[in-house]
Structure formats: structure tokens, C-alpha cells
Amino acid sequence: MSAPELEEATTAEAAAEEAVKMNLEVKVDKPSACQRHVTVAVSREDIERYFKQAFDELVPKAELPGFRAGRAPRKLVEKSFREQVTDQVKGKLVMESMTQISDEQQFSAISEPDFDYNSITLPDEGPLRYEFKIEVRPEFDLPAWQGMKLERPVHTYSEEEVDAYLKKLLARYSKVVDSDEPVQVGDLLNVDLTFTHEGKQVAHKHEHGVVVTPVLNFSDAKLEGFDKLMEGKKTGDTVETKIKISADADSDELRGQEIDLSIKIEAVQKYEYPELNEGFLDRIGGFADEAELRTEVRKQLEKQLGYNQRQRVRQQITSLLTVAANWDLPPELLRRQARRELERAAMELQSHGFSQEQIRSHANELQQNIMAYTARSLKEHFILERIAEDQKIDAEPDDFNKEIELLAEQNDESPRRVRARIEKQGAMDTLRNQIIERKVIDLIESQAKFEEVPHVPAKTDSTAIDFAIAGSLDRIAEAKYGNETPTPGMPQLKKENKD
């Protein structure tokens, strides 16, 4: 037999040996829809086979005193390197048996296996035994998704709605001046917030600027009627009220509790809006005149309408798909996934042109009911992911590029910088899920029957504060804007690139 033939035969033999399945005894318990407790016994026959493979590779290279490399007797090599090879064999047995179990049991894992590797010992006799826990996608029959009957909300924005949105955008470029006049809706207040429960201070927010709106929105609480509380008050006044902490707040002690809130007005300020002259219009985005600016504002509103239309359609689709998804999801899984769901929501809002203030307000709303929101989002994801697998839908490189370009445009950054930040935050999986889910929704829409219905725009009547009274989950990193930021959270006014 020639050298090439010998090499080919050896390679084929090695491949055949690697393809041999382990003789495993596997017991799988199902504590819940998303949890598996797996007990494994690896046969002695497999242990000895793996030892043989390890020493077959080691003996030709082993170096021992008194022998040339690869010339030491096998029994001496096995004795001398037994401990080293044992660690290697244990690792290989555990990892490869887990892979085989995953394939045979058809696990769709959603987390890494949870087990204590150091506690596993490779016995001198009998099988290797170990156990692990793993979170998996629930098992379910794929629901029918073709031919759904859905409603598509439609809306034409009035000039009054364009005026109101333009005013919010122009606040970014406005002067803020101190005022001795009584507080009115729309004023900017510098307030000192003190939160107490049963006479004990639990949180304090010093000199925070808030716009007077009907709702003051925290990460874990909401103050309704904020405008009514503030109207007519002046600098130096203190207002006492109560606020209820969310049932999903981090603090066990404060969760769901009504606490006292003291609001001291440190300063009242009013906006002086800029004149829409030629110089200002050119500086903020190269607009030829006010009409062109208003056209761009309308485009932003319509872009946000597109998002709202997609969300309404998605809600209908997922509501129909998840009718039978009555799985109990472990609280620890929901808490661990909560940040990822918030990141995904923020990423999608950014790509549709929402301001940081709007994103923060939405994030606060979600955090106040984070467990229910995450449970619903996970159930939707599991079902949409199954449809994607069934229809062979995946995220392609070009899909990532398009999403990153959208985010870059909205944040006025380079795509390279946005990609680097997403990768650093470990959010590429979040982006991938977003892309796949959108593709599945598009597929379902393409086979659905639609009826157009009026869209009622959501009222932007809240001021969001990036603050959790009872402690919070890690916050979403805010998008960064240019240097001109007298009012935080407003998007850059910029003409759409027509190239």
C-alpha cells in the first residue's frame, strides 16, 4: 500500500471511529416547560475507548527519560501520563455526550448547561455519571399561520399633528429661560424628588429637569396627573403626593407598595423657540424653507406610523399564534432575559426614527410590567423561531448591514461605530432575533387577508425619567447625539438622504 493510500485509510478509520455513538443511559426530567434536568451514565466501554484514542495519539509523541520521543513502551506511557490523560478524557466524554444528548433529545437550548464540572470524577471502574440542568424552548405543535384575517391601521397626519411634533423637535434648539410666572403645561421644571416609605427615605433625585406633562414616568413607577399637581405652582413650592411602585420592581420590600413623594420646585423655566429663518434652517439640516422642514417632519411621523402599523399587525399575529402557549416560564429565566427584551425594543424604536425621550418613555413603561412583557415576548419568539426553522428563514449578512445602517442614520453615527458598539455590548444575537422575527412576520403578512381600520396615534403625554425608585435592571445605553443638546432626548432634524 502506498503512502497516500495508507494516509487515506488511516483518515477514514479515524473518521469512522469518531462517528461511533456513545452508549449512554439518559434520564430526562421536566420540572417545567422550559427546564430539563438530565442524568447521564456513560458506559465503561466508551470510557475505555476514549482512553485508547487518547493514548493512541500520545504514545507516538511521548517523551520519557531514557527513551527517544515516541519510543517509550505503551504501558509506561499510560502509567506516566494517566492523570493528565484522565482530565482530557473526562472533558471530552462530558462535552461529546452532552452534544449527543442534545441531538438525540432534540433540545432547542436557550442557555448554557448548568452543572458543576469540577465535581464530576472519572471512576476507575463502572460508568461515568453526572447530571446537568438546561433551559430549552418548550415543546409545542406549530400553530396554523397561513391565511390569517388581520386589521391594518391607517392614518393621514393633519397639519396640527405636524405642528405639535415639530414643536417637540424644536425644543432641542430652544433657549431655556428662568421664569417667575406660575407653572404651565409644557414648562421645564428643575425639581428635587424625595421618596419615603413609612417615614424612611428610600430614594432621592436631586435637581432633575422635567417637562410638565400629564404623566411623570419612572422605570418602576408612574405618577398620573403630574400636570395638575404642578399647574399654578411657583419656584420654591413643595408638592406632596403618593406614587405606587411597580409589582415587578427589584426591591422585595417596596414592590407593589404605595410610597410618599415630595416634589420641591427649584426653578421654573420656559422655552423660547427659535425663529425658522434661512440661517437656522440651513444649520439644522440644510432645509431650503419651512415647507421642506415640515415635509421632513411628516416623513418622520409616517416612519413612526409604519412602526406602529407593524406592531399592531405583529400583536394580532402573535396573539393568534400564542393562544395555546400556556407554558409557565421560570421567573429566573424571565429576569435574565428582561434586559435583552428591553434592548431589542430600544433597537427597533431607534431604527424607526423615535427620539431617545420616546424610547426612554417606552422602556420605562415596559420595565413597570417587565415580567409579563418578557414572558409574552419569549412565547412570541419561541413560536416565530419555530416557523423560521420550518421555513428555513435566517438572518443574512446583508440583513445585519441594513439594520446597522438604519441605526447609524438615526444616531448620526458611522455604521462601523454602531456595529462595534453592538458587538461590544454582545447584542448581535438580539439583532439577529429581531431580523428573523421580522422576516417571519413579513411571510405571515404576505399570506394574510387585511382590512384597513383607523389608527389612533398614541398621546405623547408623559415625561420619562431614567431612574428607578426601588433599584433597577441594567439600563439601556442611551443613543448619543451631537454637541447641541439644550434639551435631551430629541432626534436630529436632518433631511433624508435621497441618494
3-state SS, one letter per residue, for 213-239: CCEEECCCEEEECHHHHHCCCCCCCEE
- 107 and 51 share a domain? yes
pLDDT tens by residue, the chain, 499 residues: 444 454 554 455 444 445 688 999 999 999 888 899 999 999 999 999 999 998 888 888 888 888 888 788 888 888 888 888 899 999 999 999 998 998 888 778 888 889 899 999 999 899 999 999 999 899 888 899 999 999 999 999 999 999 988 988 898 899 999 999 999 999 999 999 999 999 999 999 987 789 999 999 998 999 999 999 999 999 999 999 999 999 888 888 899 999 999 999 999 999 999 999 999 999 988 899 999 999 999 998 998 898 888 889 989 999 999 998 888 888 888 888 888 888 888 888 877 777 777 788 878 888 888 888 888 989 999 999 999 999 999 999 999 999 899 888 877 789 999 999 989 888 898 899 989 999 999 999 999 999 999 988 766 688 888 888 987 544 443 433 233 333 333 344 555 544 4
Cell of 1: 500500500
Using CA atoms, how far residue 285 sits from 176, 206, 230, 290, 349, in Å, is: 22, 35, 35, 12, 22
Relative orientation angle of helices 331-351 and 428-446, to the nearest 10 degrees: 70
- 196 and 69 share a domain? no
- 219 and 89 share a domain? no
The secondary element (H helix, E strand) that includes residue 66 is none
Residue 482 lies inside a defined structural domain of this protein: no
Residue 364 lies inside a defined structural domain of this protein: yes
- 95 and 222 share a domain? no
Residue 195 CB neighbours (<10 A): 22
- 370 and 460 share a domain? yes
Nearest of 288, 248, 263, 199 to residue 370 by alpha carbon: 248
What local confidence, expressed as pLDDT, does residue 335 receive? 83
Tell how far CA 260 is from the center of its chain.
Answer: 33
- 247 and 377 share a domain? no
Residue 331 lies inside a defined structural domain of this protein: yes
Domain that holds residue 404: 149-166+285-464
- 299 and 439 share a domain? yes
What local confidence, expressed as pLDDT, does residue 477 receive? 39
What local confidence, expressed as pLDDT, does residue 203 receive? 93
Residue 6 lies inside a defined structural domain of this protein: no
- Number of compact structural domains in the chain: 3
Cell of 238: 413643595
- 200 and 322 share a domain? no
Using CA atoms, how far residue 294 sits from 163, 273, 290, 362, in Å, is: 8, 16, 6, 25
What local confidence, expressed as pLDDT, does residue 363 receive? 80
Q: Cα Rg for the chain, rounded, in angstroms?
A: 31
Instruction: Return the CATH number at 442.
Output: 1.10.3120
Torsion angle of the four alpha carbons 483, 485, 491, 492, in this order, in degrees rounded to the nearest 10: -40
- 34 and 121 share a domain? yes
Residue 479 lies inside a defined structural domain of this protein: no
Domain boundary among 237, 272, 307: 272
Residue 156 lies inside a defined structural domain of this protein: yes
Domain boundary among 272, 305, 326: 272
CA distance linking residue 473 with residue 339, whole number of Å: 7
Using CA atoms, how far residue 399 sits from 341, 417, 433, 434, 436, in Å, is: 20, 17, 11, 10, 9
Cell of 177: 429661560
- 314 and 393 share a domain? yes
Instruction: Return the CATH number at 217.
Output: 3.10.50.30
What local confidence, expressed as pLDDT, does residue 466 receive? 85
Domain boundary among 244, 272, 300: 272
Residue 493 lies inside a defined structural domain of this protein: no
- Which residue bears the cell 454637541? 483
CA distance linking residue 315 with residue 150, whole number of Å: 10
Instruction: Return the CATH number at 97.
Output: 3.30.70.1050
Residue 158 lies inside a defined structural domain of this protein: yes
pTM over 0.75: no
Cell of 215: 404623566
- 237 and 265 share a domain? yes
Using CA atoms, how far residue 22 sits from 37, 96, 126, 135, 312, in Å, is: 20, 9, 15, 23, 49
Neighbouring C-alpha atoms within 13 Å toward the C-beta of 225: 7
- 327 and 201 share a domain? no
Using CA atoms, how far residue 198 sits from 45, 157, 223, 261, 340, in Å, is: 67, 48, 19, 12, 35
